[in-house]
Amino acid sequence: MEHYTSVVPGVTGRPIIYTEYGTGRAPRFTNQSYQLQKGRMIQIDGCYIVVDGLYFYDGIPANRNRHLTAREAGAIFVSLKAEHNIIKNCEIENCPMGIQVIGQHNLITHNYIHDCNIFLSYPSWGPVGIMVANSNNEISYNKIVNYFSKGGRFGADGGAIEIDDQKHARDNIYIHHNYSTGNEGFLEITTGASADNIQVSYNVSDDYQEFIFFWAGTNCIVENNTVLCLKPPNSRVRVVFSFEKENEVTVRNNIFVLAKGLQVFAGDSVYNADKWNQPHSNNVYFVVDGTQENPCGISLGRGDIIADPLFMDLENRDLHLRAGSPAIDAGVDVGRKLDFEDNLVPQGGKPDIGAFEFIKY
């Protein structure tokens, strides 16, 4: 632990930093005991704390102990009174709740959360990489891989990121530049309290079950994501989105590459969430074998394109655009400045569709 007296940009604080020093492996944390802080490995109750570069592994599920609910779990647990904290550069492996944030104004960035296939709470709640349950939090530049468990009530469950309801509003949440693959969905916003102004931009999702479940959400934006919905169905549901209300989620500048039979704004009605009529424009829609006539599912919006986005190498998941891609310079300027790899946007005069801006060398 190091006490450090410079001022954090943008806030007045003297952060306390928990980090590694010297060379070699990162410091390791685990906790197999409910009696010891409910299985949490680090709990943050204060403000202006930075957790940087630590390794957490082998967490315990919530349901093994009736007194612990999923809402109290987390290898890293940021409590209601904890604000202006930063969790970065950590690795979290096989923890059914990776990071749970109940406070506001926290930043979860550049973490690697991976490989958990046990239930958080059997039979209805699979493992979750990052859970946020309050307003004004930011989740960026994380890599989340292989968070799902098979079986249980839904056939499979879990997910990279969840915005959960604990009776607090969940407004102004910014989710960007995350890479998500092999999880049981990229993002799920549960029903309940207000979830206003959730912004999802410049992420890559290559996941099971869904890209985003909006069980709640008003005034939200989904833009410049590269979304692959190619993994086979493994649960009761296989959709790109669900929406709770019409005209609340603006979907623009995204690339959607779909398995045969899927459509972006259509599909199974999931618990009455099927309000497909959302503002949409400047997206590229494509079904890999080209069989689906309208992969959008409803009428195309302004600037929407049905075409092969021409990735460099889809099979090996090189999702950069090739010269000649219809996504190049076909996006609308939404004011974002950095693409998935922090290249300046726009290149070539206009923004591209998807998470990767084409760079001509």
CA distance 166 to 269: 25
Q: Give me the residue whose beta carbon is nearest to Ca ion.
A: 159
Beta bridge partners of 305: 284
346 binds Ca ion (CB under 5 A): yes
Q: By C-alpha distance, which of 331, 334, 349, 327 is closest to 253?
A: 331
Q: Is residue 123 at the binding interface for Ca ion, with CB under 5 A as the rule?
A: no
- Member of 39, 96, 127, 185 binding Ca ion (CB under 5 A): 185
Binding status of residue 352 toward Ca ion by CB under 5 A: yes
Q: Which is nearer to Ca ion, 188 or 206 (CB)?
A: 188
Q: How far is the CB of 130 from Ca ion (least distance, A)?
A: 12
* Residue 162 to residue 213: CA distance in whole angstroms: 9
| Nearer of residues 15 and 354 to Ca ion, judged by Cβ | 354
DSSP 226: E
Interface mask toward Ca ion for 305-334; x: CB under 5 A = ------------------------x-----
Query: What are the residues whose beta carbons fall under 8 Å from the beta carbon of 361, sequence distance 6 or more?
Result: none
Among positions 147-166, residues that touch Ca ion (CB under 5 A) are 159
Q: Which is nearer to Ca ion, 190 or 219 (CB)?
A: 190
User: Which pair of tokens denotes residue 336?
Assistant: 């974002």
Pick the closer one to Ca ion by CB: 304 or 352: 352
User: Rounded CA gap, 109 and 309, in Å?
Assistant: 29
248 binds Ca ion (CB under 5 A): no
The single residue among 164, 188, 244, 248 that binds Ca ion, judged by CB under 5 A, is: 188
Options 25-33, 105-113, 137-145, 347-355: segment touching Ca ion (CB under 5 A): 347-355
Report the alpha-carbon distance of residue 80 to residue 101 in Å, rounded.
8
- Of 44 and 237, CB closest to Ca ion: 237
Neighbours of 271 (CB within 10 A): 12
Both tokens of 149, joined, read 């468990």
Residue whose pair of structure tokens reads 């930093």 in the numeric block: 17
Nearest-angstrom CA–CA distance, 163 and 145: 18
CB of 148 to Ca ion, least distance (A): 8
The answer to whether 348 touches 324, Cβ cutoff 8 Å, is no
Q: Among residues 82 and 144, whose Cβ is nearest to Ca ion?
A: 144
Find the shortest distance in angstroms from Cβ 65 to Ca ion: 22
DSSP calls for 6-41: SPPTTS----EEEE--SSSSPPEE----STTGGG-S
Question: Quick one: 49 or 73, whose CB is closer to Ca ion?
Answer: 73
- 348 makes contact with Ca ion (CB under 5 A): yes
Query: Which residue, 42 or 212, is less far from Ca ion as judged by CB?
Result: 212
**Residue holding tokens 């958990």?**
116
| Binding footprint of Ca ion, residue count (CB under 5 A) | 8
CB 46, min distance to Ca ion, A = 30
Span of 16-24, 129-137, 178-186, 295-303 interacting with Ca ion by CB under 5 A: 178-186
Which is closer to Ca ion, CB of 74 or CB of 159? 159
Using CB under 5 A as the binding rule, whether residue 347 contacts Ca ion is answered as yes
Give the Cα separation of 109 and 169 in Å (integer).
22
And the tokens for 74? 């987390």
Stretch that binds Ca ion, among 99-107, 197-205, 244-252, 342-350 (CB under 5 A): 342-350
The dihedrals phi and psi of 263, each to the nearest 5 degrees, come to -135, 150
Binding residues (CB under 5 A) for Ca ion: these are: 159, 185, 188, 329, 346-348, 352
